[in-house]
Amino acid sequence: MDSAVHSYTTGGEDVVLDLTRDAAAWVADRGDGLLHVFVPHATAGLAIIETGAGSDDDLLAALADLLPADDRWRHRHGSPGHGRSHVMPALLPPYASVPVIGGTLALGTWQSICLVDLNVDNVVREVRFSFLAG
């Protein structure tokens, strides 16, 4: 299995960051198999969604409704509402797998692989891409 870690800066606000271009470049020329994407953080997750047409903003809005950035959380340190970031991976897991056919991600027309980060205290995230050949 081939594996590599990519670093991303997510900034100081809630973000949906599209990783699809990097993932596609990483699997190019690898043939058939499975791309597994993993975020080794307790406060980030992955989603396969449409981006650029408002769905990414809708996801952040839905997460803000479900997981408000206020003082209700028992896990308290860092910025207000930090505890919600520790709950989010139960809703958006820290992993995703995508088939690869002939070195190309087998995503649907509008699907993108996205890092979702609500933790404004940690602005650098690592994402591991692993390829299991078929």
Could you tell me if residue 12 is left (phi over 0), alpha (psi between -120 and 50 degrees) or otherwise beta? alpha
Q: Where are the domains of the chain?
A: 2-133
Q: What is the pLDDT of residue 59?
A: 97
Neighbours of 94 (CB within 10 A): 20
Query: Max CA-CA distance within the chain?
Result: 49
Query: Is residue 15 predicted with pLDDT exceeding 90?
Result: yes
* Angstrom distance (rounded) from CA 57 to CA 51: 9
- pLDDT bucket at 23, cuts 50 / 70 / 90: very high
pLDDT tens figures, 38-87: 999 999 999 999 998 999 999 999 999 999 988 887 877 777 778 888 99
The yes/no answer on whether domain 2-133 falls in CATH 3.40.50.300 is no
- Going by C-alpha positions, the residue among 43, 53, 26 that lies closest to residue 88 is 43
Half-sphere exposure in the Cβ direction for 55 (13 Å, CA):
14
Q: Is 36 exposed, middle or buried (0-12, 13-18, 19+ CB in 10 A)?
A: middle
